[in-house]
């Protein structure tokens, strides 16, 4: 026992982190203990006098670093949800230490020799499917992180890895600063057109931040997008949009542009040290796409029809402006506003009318209900479990026989110090090796908090986001593998969005809406006519959405699929956009200076295309339920669970998909889903 709760066994229910006992300054000490422990565990493997066996090397490696995982998972979750200056300082200090630590492991010659010896005779080892794949992936991962490098190249690799982690951490912190430090101050009269909940949130922000004017917005995506689609003040939309798309691009200490140039150059140098032509070649090797050309081909296949559709949409929006006597050309800051008007006139779909039926609480129930119908899960709210913030709710997840499956945390509301966007993460992954552990999974969102007289109401997009992240959560919670590194969402990035995106399909199905979309004041179920209109408007503005997404994906891809790095990212981005014929009225969903997916870490670098790749799977995958004639078809759901949600990375994802569907994915399903055929 030590005085540091992070280092003790947790005697809390389900061994959950004892959040209330943890103080920020304890992380420093906890990390240094956990790092030393992990080093000792690695040393025990390499100094083992016995010849390498699967058990004394691979199993031992899988079991090593448990304490570091424990401490790290609490730390990294808190830096995302409740960042403070103290945590940010610590984060800048810890990130390079961790990188040094893991680089030293991957460059450890004795350790690699043992893994290699096993890999070389894997045929003789009588391994099951999961073990054989684990051995192959472990060996590959050593090679991909420099294990075969020698001399100067080896030292340079280690240096690059450390510098990259510093730059990526700084990049993320700069975006957070630009999003939360910026305040767009407004008078009451400036709120014309806005829904009541946005007005209330703007007043609350002004109060919290003590601004001169009575209302204020930060640059969090959700509040900016609401303002852009609702505000009747064209001048203010323009001002806010300009600030939004310039995040990370302000000269001064939060300027991300010089960081990007360095990150790209170092990534390229790393790839070439490891023997790859470009960083994209390196990055895509272990993915479903495998080759950059395969990912590029999919993006190109979609780009032309998306652009054509966006041009039709632009013309329709311009007609609307002209019809109203507005004497101006549609600009980027007008798109969302006029798209909402058009949606209203074409489909009689009014976001405020819709939101009245999407109470957060009922939509959470809807997500749980689908999980019960598909996977036989039950969710029981527990008030006695430790949580890291009073806004967080805890659920125990059980199967139909009452057996414990997982703990699920829902952290739904925006607050200061929380990164923008939505994500799934975990405090513990599932594994069986050395004793079964069940997972502890969290979904984090940035929805508006309820007020005393109004529940939290969601937009259509937010309902989809809720289901998306819950799909990731199910991937974590249903995991049923032996080895920790194969667990849950530890799959290639172009596969990992499949379980999340396919789950979105259930959100807006009439079977679900009829049951859960109830008016927050009257309790009346959503009228069938409104459900029909939602279904009819399914592909509305899909050209805009696809172009906005693909432009980001293509820029990310092209910046990394070249043998050199651009000197100046702004010019490189502009060049790429010109080459692809980007319409002036649409701005990339994420411009490079705030493209956290790509530059705040490596996992989605040259990998933003993954969402699209997974979308071919979800469009085609959900069609399996439609073909079965029941969106909860038991047999299809069982296959989806066996080969996808519970399977982690046990099997090559191309094979896993084929096992679920009985064949490979049909790309045409994606074009049909988007309404491009």
Return the active site residues: 469
| Residues 68, 11 contacting (CB under 8 angstroms) | no
- Map the footprint of Zn ion across residues 230-259, applying CB under 5 A: none
- The binding track of 484-513 with respect to Zn ion, each residue x by CB under 5 A or -, is -------------x--x-------------
Cβ proximity to Zn ion: between 500 and 616 the closer is 500
In the complex, the smallest distance separating the C-beta of residue 614 from Zn ion, rounded to whole angstroms, is 8
CA distance 564 to 553: 19
Q: Is 306 helix (H, G, I), strand (E, B) or coil?
A: helix
In the complex, the smallest distance separating the C-beta of residue 472 from Zn ion, rounded to whole angstroms, is 6
CA distance 259 to 512: 46
CA distance 425 to 487: 13
CA distance 413 to 409: 13
Cβ proximity to Zn ion: between 417 and 421 the closer is 421
Cβ proximity to Zn ion: between 480 and 497 the closer is 497
Continuous H helices in 246-347 = 257-273, 279-284, 292-323, 335-347
Tokens for 465, please give them.
Answer: 């986001």
CA distance 28 to 89: 11
- Find how far residue 289's CA is from the centre of its chain: 19
In the complex, the smallest distance separating the C-beta of residue 653 from Zn ion, rounded to whole angstroms, is 15
Q: Is 61 helix (H, G, I), strand (E, B) or coil?
A: helix
Which among 146, 37, 172, 165 has a CA at the least distance from the CA of 99? Answer: 165
In the complex, the smallest distance separating the C-beta of residue 393 from Zn ion, rounded to whole angstroms, is 21
Cβ proximity to Zn ion: between 472 and 651 the closer is 472
Cβ proximity to Zn ion: between 99 and 500 the closer is 500
Cα distances (angstroms) measured from residue 202 to each of 199, 208, 216, 226 = 5, 10, 5, 11
Tokens for 594, please give them.
Answer: 């705030």
Q: Cβ-closest residue to Zn ion? A: 500
CA distance 569 to 592: 8
| Residues 5, 18 contacting (CB under 8 angstroms) | yes
Cβ proximity to Zn ion: between 168 and 497 the closer is 497
- The binding track of 289-308 with respect to Zn ion, each residue x by CB under 5 A or -, is --------------------
- In the block, which residue shows the tokens 């049923």? 480
- Map the footprint of Zn ion across residues 115-144, applying CB under 5 A: none
In the complex, the smallest distance separating the C-beta of residue 218 from Zn ion, rounded to whole angstroms, is 23
In the complex, the smallest distance separating the C-beta of residue 674 from Zn ion, rounded to whole angstroms, is 18
Q: Is there binding between residue 222 and Zn ion (CB under 5 A)?
A: no
Contacts of 245 (CB under 8 A, 6+ apart): 332, 587, 591
Contacts of 516 (CB under 8 A, 6+ apart): 362, 363, 365, 366, 369
In the complex, the smallest distance separating the C-beta of residue 425 from Zn ion, rounded to whole angstroms, is 11
In the complex, the smallest distance separating the C-beta of residue 548 from Zn ion, rounded to whole angstroms, is 17
In the complex, the smallest distance separating the C-beta of residue 52 from Zn ion, rounded to whole angstroms, is 38
Which among 85, 106, 101 has a CA at the least distance from the CA of 176? Answer: 85
CA distance 674 to 118: 47
Cα distances (angstroms) measured from residue 48 to each of 56, 66, 591 = 8, 20, 50
Residues in a beta bridge with 396: 380, 407
Cβ proximity to Zn ion: between 5 and 471 the closer is 471
In the complex, the smallest distance separating the C-beta of residue 592 from Zn ion, rounded to whole angstroms, is 21
- The binding track of 535-554 with respect to Zn ion, each residue x by CB under 5 A or -, is --------------------
Contacts of 650 (CB under 8 A, 6+ apart): 129, 130, 133, 481, 486, 656
Cβ proximity to Zn ion: between 197 and 497 the closer is 497
> How many beta carbons lie within 10 A of that of residue 300, not counting itself?
12
Cβ proximity to Zn ion: between 75 and 495 the closer is 495
In the complex, the smallest distance separating the C-beta of residue 120 from Zn ion, rounded to whole angstroms, is 37
In the DSSP assignment, the letter for residue 402 is: S
CA distance 585 to 332: 4
Please count the residues of this chain forming the interface with Zn ion, following the rule CB under 5 A. Answer: 2
Which among 230, 231, 517, 226 has a CA at the least distance from the CA of 354? Answer: 517
Cβ proximity to Zn ion: between 481 and 496 the closer is 496
CA distance 347 to 512: 21
Q: Which helix (H) or strand (E) holds 205?
A: helix 196-209
CA distance 127 to 511: 45
Cβ proximity to Zn ion: between 354 and 463 the closer is 463
In the complex, the smallest distance separating the C-beta of residue 608 from Zn ion, rounded to whole angstroms, is 11
Tokens for 411, please give them.
Answer: 């952290």
| Residues 559, 264 contacting (CB under 8 angstroms) | yes
Residues found near Zn ion in the complex (CB under 5 A): 497, 500
């Amino acid at each position: 026992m030590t005085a540091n709760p992070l280092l003790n066994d947790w005697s809390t229910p389900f061994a959950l982190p004892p959040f209330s006992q943890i103080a920020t300054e304890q992380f420093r000490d906890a990390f240094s203990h956990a790092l030393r422990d992990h080093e000792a565990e690695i040393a025990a493997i390499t100094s083992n006098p016995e010849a390498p066996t699967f058990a004394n090397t691979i199993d031992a490696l899988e079991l090593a670093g448990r304490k570091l995982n424990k401490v790290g998972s609490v730390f990294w979750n808190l830096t995302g949800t409740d960042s403070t200056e103290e945590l940010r300082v610590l984060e800048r200090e810890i990130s390079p230490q961790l990188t040094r630590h893991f680089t030293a492991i991957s460059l450890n010659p004795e350790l690699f020799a043992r893994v290699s010896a096993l890999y070389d005779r894997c045929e003789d080892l009588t391994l099951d499917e999961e073990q054989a794949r684990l051995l192959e992936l472990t060996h590959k991962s050593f090679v991909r992180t420099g294990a075969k490098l020698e001399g100067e190249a080896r030292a340079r690799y280690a240096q690059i890895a450390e510098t990259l982690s510093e730059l990526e951490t700084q990049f993320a912190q700069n975006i957070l600063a630009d999003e939360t430090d910026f305040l767009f101050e407004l008078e009451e009269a400036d709120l014309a057109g806005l829904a009541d909940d946005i007005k209330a949130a703007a007043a609350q922000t002004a109060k919290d931040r003590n601004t001169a004017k009575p209302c204020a917005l930060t640059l969090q995506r959700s509040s900016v997008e609401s303002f852009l689609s609702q505000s009747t003040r064209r001048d203010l939309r323009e001002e806010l949009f300009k600030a939004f798309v310039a995040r990370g691009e302000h000269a001064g200490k939060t300027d991300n542009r010089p960081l990007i140039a360095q990150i790209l150059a170092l990534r390229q140098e790393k790839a070439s040290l490891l023997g790859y032509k470009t960083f994209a070649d390196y990055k895509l090797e272990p993915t479903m796409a495998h080759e950059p050309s395969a990912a590029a081909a999919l993006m190109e296949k979609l780009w032309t029809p998306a652009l054509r559709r966006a041009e039709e949409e632009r013309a329709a929006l311009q007609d609307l402006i002209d019809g109203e006597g507005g004497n101006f050309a549609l600009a980027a800051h007008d798109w969302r506003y006029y798209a909402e008007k058009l949606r209203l006139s074409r489909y009689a779909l009014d976001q405020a009318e819709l939101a009245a039926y999407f109470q957060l609480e009922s939509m959470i129930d809807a997500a749980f209900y689908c999980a019960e119908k598909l996977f036989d899960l039950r969710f029981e709210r527990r008030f006695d479990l430790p949580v890291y913030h009073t806004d967080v709710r805890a659920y125990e997840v059980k199967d139909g026989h009452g057996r414990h499956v997982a703990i699920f945390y829902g952290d739904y509301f925006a607050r200061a110090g929380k990164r923008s966007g939505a994500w799934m993460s975990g405090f513990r992954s599932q594994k069986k090796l050395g004793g079964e552990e069940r997972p502890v999974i969290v979904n984090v969102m940035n929805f508006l908090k309820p007020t005393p007289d109004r529940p939290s109401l969601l937009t259509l997009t937010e309902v989809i986001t809720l289901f998306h992240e819950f799909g990731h959560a199910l991937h974590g919670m249903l995991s049923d593998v032996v080895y920790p590194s194969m667990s849950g969402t530890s799959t290639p990035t172009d596969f990992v969005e499949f379980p999340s995106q396919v789950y979105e399909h259930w959100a807006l199905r009439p079977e679900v809406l009829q049951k859960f979309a109830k008016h927050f004041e009257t309790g009346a179920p959503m009228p069938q006519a409104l459900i029909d209109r939602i279904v009819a408007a399914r592909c509305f503005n899909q050209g805009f959405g696809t172009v906005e997404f693909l432009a980001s994906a293509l820029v990310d891809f092209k910046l990394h699929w070249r043998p050199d790095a651009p000197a100046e990212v702004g010019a490189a981005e502009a060049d790429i956009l010109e080459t692809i014929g980007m319409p002036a009225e649409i701005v990339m969903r994420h411009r490079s200076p705030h493209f956290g997916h790509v530059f705040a870490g490596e996992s989605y670098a040259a990998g933003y295309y993954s969402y699209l790749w997974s979308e071919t799977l979800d469009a085609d995958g959900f069609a399996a339920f439609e073909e079965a004639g029941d969106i909860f078809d038991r047999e299809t759901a069982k296959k989806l669970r066996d080969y996808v949600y519970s399977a982690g990375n046990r099997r090559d994802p191309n094979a896993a998909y084929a096992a679920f569907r009985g064949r490979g994915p049909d790309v045409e399903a994606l074009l049909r889903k988007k309404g491009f055929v």
